[in-house]
Structure formats: structure tokens, C-alpha cells
Amino acid sequence: MSHLLSKNSLSKNSQQTGQTQTQLVTPKSANWRYVGFEAHQLKAGESITIETATDEVCAVILSGKANANTKLEAWKDIGDRMSVFDQKAPYSVYSPAQDEIHIEAITDVEVAFCKAPGKGGFKAKLISPEQCQYETRGVTSNTRHVCNILFGNEPADSLLVCEVITPSGGWSSYPPHKHDTDAAPAETQLEETYYHKIDPPQGFAFQRVYTDDRSIDETMAVEDGDLVMVPEGYHPVGVPHGYQSYYLNVMAGPSRNWIFHNDPDHEWIIERDKQR
């Protein structure tokens, strides 16, 4: 297994023993500085509390309905989609450092906790679907549906969170781009995770992570619930015919600014697509 790939950890045995966690990545386990991520599957009536400590946290309700609260705020019956493939923006809860997020499942719920260093500069808040930015980008087999959850649409200390659906037979994060160099305004340094879901769930997609000098060059078959870590390099995703792909992206780095650099070998594709 690639050291960049974390497999879904929720086995049938762990489901029977009440374990809800499917993914857990920390800066220490990833051997980087900024991004943390965990995903949980809750049965109706189950709950989980995440202490934010020194992080800011964005809890994304991937599917299902839930009640949520932080230390000072509470929201009832949030969640408007039963699948990440409903092509609806999600409900999310943002919490600053030194706070907490409590999620109580009304229906079966999948929730992702996206983490990065926080300064406590913003108050806890609900991010509703109306506050997200949902758009379709690209042409032909490079078409993808993007939803900015905590990006330019909402302020934060360091977190950037978005999600992408790639149709059957398509590509996204393509042409390949990277954001691993702290050289604004040309490029910014951002660590990134990809939390993958596949429809139908028995399918798979491919993701390649590679650097210019090929010191990293790994191509991974990702399945439903897998997580890919991108410490540096280019990171395109391809989806086989018959399946569609979803992934939740979490990014953070020295500055909260997404400026990427395209792989020069493939940048010609952008100019060609402008003519279509």
C-alpha cells in the first residue's frame, strides 16, 4: 500500500463493536505540518464530540441529518442530502480553536472533520448550502462539479475545504497542477487530502501524485472511503467508465491562499479547451 494512501478503516467487526471512525490523519501521522482529517459513520442516535484544541475545525455533513452544537451555538436538523452524489451542497459547522463540535445523528450520518491550525479569529458558525459556491467547470471528459464549502466564500484562519464530483469516464484535478511552493503570487504551499467516495461503491478511481523530479511518483487505485495525502506534487484523478467519483478536499499551509502551478508538459490542454 502506498504511504500516500490511507485505506477505509471501518471493518465489519469494528461496526459491530461500535467504532464509528473510518479515517484519521494527523500532521504527525502524515509527516507534515498543517492538515488533519477524520471521517465517521454514525448510526441514528449515535453522537460524537470533537475537541478543537489548537485547531479550527470544519465538520462537513456528507450525508444524513443531524443536530450539531459547539460550546455556545446549536443547530437542529441540519443536512439535506442522503448521498454525496445528490449534487447538492452540504451543511457544515465551523468551530474555532479552543471549542468543540458535537454531532448527534438523526438518521444514519457520515461526517468529516477537517482540521488545520487555528488562531481563534472567527466565531463558530453554520455554513448552509446557500453559503457554498456550487459550479460546473471544464469541458467534455474534463467536466467536474465543484462545491466550495470553506473557500473564498467564507473566512477562516487557515482551512480551505471543497468537494468535487467527477462524472463517469472523466478526469479532475486535471490538467495536473501543484501547490507546494511558498512563492506567492506565482504559487502557494498547501498540503492536501482527498477523501474519496465512489458510485456505485464497489468501483474504484485512480489518482497519481508526482513531482517534477519524480522523487514522488505513485499511482493509486482508490476505493470508496479511501484517503489520499498530497504533501507535494501534481495530483490528477481519473474515473473508469460506469462509475462516478466524489472527493472532499482539505488544504492548509503557511497562508490561506490557493495559487496553483500547472504541469508545463500538459498545460497545452487548457489552451485547446478554450477553443471548445
pLDDT, tens only, 48-57: 999 999 999 9
CA distance 226 to 216: 19
248 within 8 A of 161, measured Cβ to Cβ: yes
CA distance 238 to 148: 21
Cis ω for the linkage preceding 175 (within 30 of 0): yes
Q: Is the pTM of this model over 0.75?
A: yes
For all residues of the chain together, what is the average pLDDT? 95
Mean pLDDT of 155-166: 98
Taking Cα atoms as reference points, which of 231, 226, 235 lies closest to residue 203? 226
Taking Cα atoms as reference points, which of 164, 157, 126, 175 lies closest to residue 56? 157
Mean pLDDT of 55-84: 98
CA distance 254 to 180: 11
Cα–Cα distances (Å) from 255 to 12, 116, 156, 184, 252, in that order, read 40, 11, 11, 10, 8
